[in-house]
Amino acid sequence: MSGIGAALLNSLDIGLLLFIIAVGLNIVFGVLNIINFAHGALYMLGAYLAFTLINIAGMPFWAALLLAPIGVAILAVIIDRFLLRFIYSRDVADSLLLTFAILLIINESVRMIWGSGIHVVQPPDLLAGSVDLLGSSVATYSLFVIIIGLLLLAGLWYLFNRTRVGRIMRAAALDRDMAEALCINTRLVVTGVFAFGAWLAAVGGVMAAPMRALDPGMGDKIIIESFIVVVIGGLGSFPGALLGAIILGLIHGFGGRYLPEVNLLLPFVGMALVLLFKPNGIMGKGASA
């Protein structure tokens, strides 16, 4: 039971962190209809800004958790205003190409500023150590990630279903022309949604920094996992992002413990099976057809 409990908690830890990151990718696609290939680079930038604020500027982790995502969101506003706004009315493939170029620019900028070496961020003293839970020893920081993931999940659900801002975002996603006819500033909505998606990616980056070594390729790895999440759950689906992240977390958590030899292959096998039987994702548009 202790092994199963540890695998389950590890799955929740991985799954909820992936949810924080992948849900931003899904929100951007659902509202703006663009596939943001640079989402992983924004996640990486959040982690590197946290490293700078904590290890170089000497700020506490909590300040980095607040400031780094805001800095990435500001960069996202600049990217939207000067680059992305020209391709919103074009084919989705154009957004994929442009955001891939942005990904390359950010990756090279990170190498120029921080170098190609590996950097490490220590968890805050308050979250150091471990606790006994479900018959196994669990890192306190992992429990913190799970709690923050659940809080963000509840907050996002409330935002989309119980607030005027959420209704405006959903209206813009369904019919932008009709939203404009109702005097909704869709230009502001588009910029705000892209910045919000980048903020979520950066929050994931800051949260991941004490758990994973920082290197210039970390964004490439996470964007692949984020795409697996949205393919499994359904591109543009908020519940699908949660379901896909939990499924991928379970694959990593239990696969890493019981099938370590093939663990790296299991996410791709899961994605292939979903594409075979549910091409739109388990909860994507048309998934019930």
Task: Tell me the per-residue pLDDT of 220-242, one tens digit each, with 9 for 90 and over.
Answer: 999 999 999 999 999 888 899 99
List CB contacts of 118: < 8 A, sequence separation 6 or more: 213, 214, 215
pTM for the predicted model, two decimal places:
0.94
75's tokens: 């960069």
- Residue at 101: amino acid letter: A
Q: Higher model confidence: residue 192 or residue 7? A: 192
Task: Kindly indicate the confidence band of residue 285, based on its pLDDT and cuts at 50, 70 and 90.
Answer: low
Query: What three-state secondary structure class fits 279?
Result: coil
For the chain, how many residues are written? 289
Q: How far is residue 223's CA from residue 229's CA, in Å, rounded to a whole number?
A: 10
pLDDT for 2: 64
User: Cβ atoms within 10 A of the Cβ of 27, count?
Assistant: 24
Question: Tokens at residue 232, please?
Answer: 């499994």
pLDDT of the residue at 288: 42
- Using the predicted structure, report yes or no on whether residue 1 has a pLDDT greater than 50: no
What is the spatial distance between Cα 10 and Cα 252, in angstroms, rounded to a whole number? 8
Q: What is the pLDDT of residues 19-76, one digit of tens each?
A: 999 999 999 998 888 989 999 999 999 999 999 999 999 999 999 999 999 999 999 9
